[in-house]
């Protein structure tokens, strides 16, 4: 059972992956900026580590997308 054609499905996936690869780091960058605006005593190591990991994961996701298109 196919809901849409293969081509439509492919571009839906590309759009979804691209949206996440762009949206995810954007959210983490905004959070990171807010984090550094807070007083040092309100910042936690766990939050910072989480945001750095989030950015790394988003980067890895973006590389996956590039890998797909560049045929690496």
Convert residues 6-45 into a mask of x (bound to other proteins by CB under 8 A) and - (unbound). Answer: ---x---x--xx--x---x---------------------
Contact status, residue 35 vs residue 47, Cβ threshold 8 Å: yes
Question: Considering beta carbons, is residue 29 or 50 the nearer one to other proteins?
Answer: 50
Residues 6+ apart with CB under 8 A from 59: 25
Task: Compute the radius of gyration of the chain from its Cα atoms.
Answer: 17
Distance in angstroms between the alpha carbons of the first and the last residue of the chain: 31
Q: Which residue's entry shows tokens 């766990």?
A: 46
Question: Considering beta carbons, is residue 17 or 29 the nearer one to other proteins?
Answer: 17
Interface residues toward other proteins, by CB under 8 A: 1-4, 9, 13, 16-17, 20, 24, 46-47, 49-51, 53-54, 56-57, 60-61, 64, 67-68
């Amino acid at each position: 059972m196919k809901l849409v054609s293969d081509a439509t499905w492919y571009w839906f996936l590309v759009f979804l992956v691209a949206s996440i690869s762009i949206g995810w780091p954007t959210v983490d960058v905004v959070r990171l900026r807010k984090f550094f605006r807070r007083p040092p005593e309100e910042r936690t190591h766990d939050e910072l580590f989480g945001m750095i990991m989030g950015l790394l994961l988003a980067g890895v996701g973006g590389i996956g997308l590039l890998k797909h298109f560049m045929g690496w």
